[in-house]
Structure 1
Amino acid sequence: MTGVAVVVIDVQYAFFSGTNAAYRGAEVIDGINRLTAAARAAGAPVFIVQHDEEGDEEVEYGSEGWQLPAGLVRTGGDTLIRKSVGDSFHETPLKAHLDRLGIDRLVICGYATEFCIDTGARRAALLGYRTTVVSDLHTTQRTSQLTPEQIVAHYNRVWEHSSLQGNRVSVRPLADVLATEFA
């Protein structure tokens, strides 16, 4: 059996609030809610990955910043995955859950385009999953070098043109993913 799963990475209060909140944060959360609702309706599992780091007040486990934003819809059927580095697979049960469910395709969205989304997508592809990053459902914060718009656009292009052991990361907008994966 093969199937598709949605992986929502690091959509947490610390990154979607305050003066340097994630670029297009409310729009991204709204789109993620549409994506995960369609996935659930189609019987596809949803994994919500939360970053936590002991001693980091911003995202320490259980802290306000670690929590999911109020606007992000989560159901009891979703699987929560805790991670402490940028890679959602490193020392987490994510791969074991996916393999147990017979998942071979991942749809990835969430926060920190240039860090956790990039690392998660590349790792998923290297592990053999057919991986799609939803082009309009990943985001980041402003840095001193690039605008969030530039970072998102740059990584969408990089993923489109990279091959990881012959397994490309697909980059598709939400409308296309909804029409093809969860119709």
Structure 2
Amino acid sequence: MSNIILMVVDVQNALIEKHPYNEKGVIENIKKLVSTARDNKKEVIYVRHDDGKGTELEKGTDGWQIYDEIAPNSDELIFEKQYNSAFHKTELKKYLESKKIDTIILMGLQTEYCIDATCKSAFDCGYKIIIPEETNSTLDNEYLSGEKLYEFYNYKIWNNRFANVIPVDEVMKVLINK
């Protein structure tokens, strides 16, 4: 039996207001998994990005706040970060070790930045990573659409290399049975 944690990364107002790919589906799936985790006594932790003074993700601003629909309960931890990886210069790894966590269910924003960096850092630290389908997203850029970025990272880069990308319903079973 593994020790599992649900991690929600950077689902913050400023990013949601830009309407990332599959925004509604991603939020609904995150809400469903957060609710399932809580109902089954699995810890949910949050990670929030501070991009510095004068940015849309400046600490303390409305844009920096975690999106209301998936906001943490008062007893749930928020790890603050300033780099793409939730592990870089934070206390996250130490905390996970103290809880003997070996499996991370990872979701959030943005696919090619903070989710990618956090996934690979977690992999390097020896964690098993599960990425539920349609629980991460990003924005179109000058090279690729948010949809293409989502598909490329989830199915070409991460799946069966750094993580297991599996349907939300399968992840719900993992949360219920572990």
Give the TM-score normalised by the residue count of structure 1: 0.90
Gaps of 5+ in 1: 163-167
Farther-moved stretch of structure 1 (85-94 vs 50-59): 50-59
The residue that corresponds to 1:13 in the other structure is 13
Matched, 1:112 2:82: no
Work out whether residues 57 and 63 of structure 1, in 8 Å CA contact, stay in contact via their aligned partners in 2. Answer: no
Kindly provide the amino acid, as one letter, of the partner of residue 14 in structure 2: A
Question: Percent identity over the alignment?
Answer: 28
The residue that corresponds to 1:165 in the other structure is none
SS of 1:71 mapped into structure 2: helix
Kindly provide the amino acid, as one letter, of the partner of residue 36 in structure 1: V
4+ long deviations beyond 2 Å: 180-183
Which structure carries more strand by proportion? 1
Work out whether residues 134 and 172 of structure 1, in 8 Å CA contact, stay in contact via their aligned partners in 2. Answer: yes
How much has 1:2 moved relative to structure 2? 4.3
Gaps of 5+ in 2: none
SS of 1:182 mapped into structure 2: helix
The residue that corresponds to 2:31 in the other structure is 33
Work out whether residues 25 and 134 of structure 2, in 8 Å CA contact, stay in contact via their aligned partners in 1. Answer: no
Q: How many residues align?
A: 176
Question: CA RMSD, aligned part only?
Answer: 1.5
Partner Cα distance (1:73, 1:27) in 2: 17
The residue that corresponds to 1:3 in the other structure is 3
Listed one character per residue, the Cα deviations across residues 5-58 of structure 1 (whole Å, up to 9, x for unaligned) are 0110100000001xx321222221121111011111221111110000222420
Of 128, 131, 145, the match for 1:130? 128
Kindly provide the amino acid, as one letter, of the partner of residue 8 in structure 1: V
Kindly provide the amino acid, as one letter, of the partner of residue 109 in structure 2: Y
Give the TM-score normalised by the residue count of structure 2: 0.93
Listed one character per residue, the Cα deviations across residues 88-129 of structure 1 (whole Å, up to 9, x for unaligned) are 001111111111111100000000100100110111011001
Work out whether residues 48 and 80 of structure 1, in 8 Å CA contact, stay in contact via their aligned partners in 2. Answer: yes
The residue that corresponds to 1:154 in the other structure is 152
The residue that corresponds to 1:145 in the other structure is 143
Partner Cα distance (1:72, 1:113) in 2: 18
